[in-house]
Chains A and B, each alone.
Chain A
Amino acid sequence: SQQGEEDPQALSIQEGENATMNCSYKTSINNLQWYRQNSGRGLVHLILIRSNEREKHSGRLRVTLDTSKKSSSLLITASRAADTASYFCATDGHNFNKFYFGSGTKLNVKP
């Protein structure tokens, strides 16, 4: 990808379990964002974390950021079948308003 990698590439869990996805990036950033994409559809913004933040919560989502390791993680707690989608991180790479996306994690939540 233009900026980083995500792992795992694919994740399959049972409904109710937690899902953790990781994102690593290459250059310094101002902030990092997580997006969700249902198959063949556009992107839905989930959460933004700034470079001076270490953790952020939004509902069942928890995002962490470690700028020293150039990595972030997205945790979805108590997953639901409706959470099935691909999840991407996006960084700005210190370029004003430009996004560079990670390779994505395809999450499958089995009912």
Chain B
Amino acid sequence: GAVVSQHPSRVICKSGTSVKIECRSLDFQATTMFWYRQFPKKSLMLMATSNEGSKATYEQGVEKDKFLINHASLTLSTLTVTSAHPEDSSFYICSASTGRVYNEQFFGPGTRLTVL
């Protein structure tokens, strides 16, 4: 149980285009989902927290208009990288929480974004 999937696992796009990444909780309802960004050989940086049905809360320094997050249902959150540039190339990981157990997050496998 507690499986989180991400789609796509890998995406290459041209500079200026927008890319949508999906995060799904497959066998549980996720009241809260989190989006992280990881640069090569670096740690995970929390980008934003999203609660189902409400606006995402972004961490300091993360551009809201650049990284659009939608959490429309209890099993799906999406991250859209708008007008992507090469510096947006990174590994994006989502996690999901039921909200029932404090500090329990289930992580997705990650999405590798490469912007040419």
Contacts and interface: CB of A to CB of B under 8 A. Distances in A.
B34 A98 contact: yes
Contacts of B46: 2, 98-101
How extensive is the interface on chain B, given as a class?
A: 20 to 34
Interface residues of A, number: 25
Nearest 9 pairs between A and B by C-beta? A42-B109, A43-B107, A101-B44, A101-B43, A1-B43, A103-B43, A42-B107, A42-B110, A104-B43
A88 to B, nearest CB: 6
B45 A2 contact: yes
A40 B41 contact: no
A46 B31 CA distance: 23
Nearest to B40: A40
Interface string A37-67: 0001111110010000000000000000000
Interface in A76-111: 88, 92, 96-104, 106
